Homo-oligomer: A and B are copies of this chain.
Amino acid sequence: MNIADHDSLLSPEELERRLLAIGAERYHNLHPFHRLLHDGKLDRGQVQAWALNRYYYQCRIPAKDASLLARLPTTDLRREWRRRLVDHDGEGTAPGGVERWLRLTSGLGLDNDYVMSLAGLLPGTRFAVDAYVAFVRERTVLEAVASSLTEMFSSKIISERVAGMLRNYSFVDADTLSYFMPRLTQAPADVAFALGYVKTHARTRVEQEGVLGALRFKCDLLWAQLDSLYFAYVAPGLPPPGAFRP
C-alpha cells in the first residue's frame, strides 16, 4: 500500500469489502483442526477436547460484552449491546449460550463440574481468550465493536459444523448441538448493528485501519485456539501437564 492509499478514507462499502476479505483469508473455518472436526476425522476424545476448551471462550463472552457495555455512552447503545448478555446468559426459562454449551460438553460425556472448573484447559486457550477480554476492555469502543465482526462469517461455519458433525459422529445428536441453532439468528442481528456501527463511526483512515486490525486480531485469537488444540490432541498430540486427557 503506498502512502496515498494509506491516507485516504475508504468508502463504507470498501471498508466492508476489506472486512470480508479478512474473513476469507483468516477465519478459523480454514484451520486444519476445523476441517478435521467437520469432516468427521476426529475421535470422541478429540471432540471432547475441542468442546472443553471452547467452553472457556463461551463463558468469558458475557464478561467481554459487559465490559464494553460499561463504556457505551448512551442508553440506546447499551440496550443494543445488552441483547448479547441475554443471548449468552439466557432470560426467564430460556437458557443462554453458556448453558447450551454445557449441553454439548455433557452430551459428549464430560462432567459439568469438571468443565466449569476450567481445570483441564489448555494454557493456549486461556491466553487467547483472556487477550480477547482485555482487548475489548482496553481498546477504543470502535475497535471493541469491530472485534465482534467475526460473526459475519459464523453462520457459514455453524451450518457446516452442525451438518458435518451430525453426519459424521455417532456420539453427537441434534440436542447436543442445540447451542448452535439460536446463533444462526442471533449472529446476523448482531452483525447488522456492529457492521453499521463501524461503517458510520470510523471517520478517519486511521480509525478504519483500527477496525480492520481489530478483526484481524479476533481472527488470530480464534485461530490460535485451534493451533493449541491441534498440537495437544492431533499432532504431535502432546497435551501439557495438567491438561485434559481423553
Question: Which A residues lie at the B interface, using CB under 8 A?
Answer: 62-67, 69-71, 75, 78-79, 82, 85-86, 89-91, 96, 98-99, 137
Residue in A66, A67, A89 whose Cβ sees the most chain B Cβ within 10 Å: A66
Point out the residues of chain B lying under 8 angstroms from A66, CB to CB: 66-67, 69-70, 78
Point out the residues of chain B lying under 8 angstroms from A70, CB to CB: 62-67, 69-70, 137
Point out the residues of chain B lying under 8 angstroms from A71, CB to CB: 63
Point out the residues of chain B lying under 8 angstroms from A99, CB to CB: 75
B67, B75, B78, B90: the one contacting A67 at CB < 8 Å is: B67
Point out the residues of chain B lying under 8 angstroms from A137, CB to CB: 70
Point out the residues of chain B lying under 8 angstroms from A89, CB to CB: 75, 78-79, 82
Query: What distance in Å separates the Cβ of A40 from its nearest Cβ neighbour in chain B?
Result: 32
CA distance A137 to B63 in the complex (A): 13
Complex A-B: 17 CB contacts under 8 Å: A62-B78, A63-B70, A63-B71, A64-B70, A65-B70, A66-B67, A66-B70, A66-B78, A69-B69, A69-B85, A70-B70, A70-B137, A75-B89, A75-B90, A75-B96, A75-B99, A78-B85
Given contacts A75-B96, A75-B99, 9 further A-B contacts (CB under 8 A): A64-B70, A66-B66, A66-B67, A66-B69, A69-B69, A75-B89, A79-B89, A79-B91, A82-B86
Identical subunits present: 2
CA distance A136 to B78 in the complex (A): 18
Point out the residues of chain B lying under 8 angstroms from A90, CB to CB: 75, 79
Point out the residues of chain B lying under 8 angstroms from A69, CB to CB: 62, 66, 69-70, 85
Point out the residues of chain B lying under 8 angstroms from A82, CB to CB: 82, 85-86, 89
Point out the residues of chain B lying under 8 angstroms from A64, CB to CB: 70
Chain B residue nearest to A116 in the complex (CB): B74
Point out the residues of chain B lying under 8 angstroms from A65, CB to CB: 70
Point out the residues of chain B lying under 8 angstroms from A62, CB to CB: 69-70, 75, 78
CA distance A78 to B90 in the complex (A): 10
Residue in A64, A65, A82 whose Cβ sees the most chain B Cβ within 10 Å: A82
Chain B residue nearest to A137 in the complex (CB): B70
CA distance A96 to B98 in the complex (A): 27
CA distance A62 to B72 in the complex (A): 9
Point out the residues of chain B lying under 8 angstroms from A79, CB to CB: 89-91
CA distance A61 to B85 in the complex (A): 17
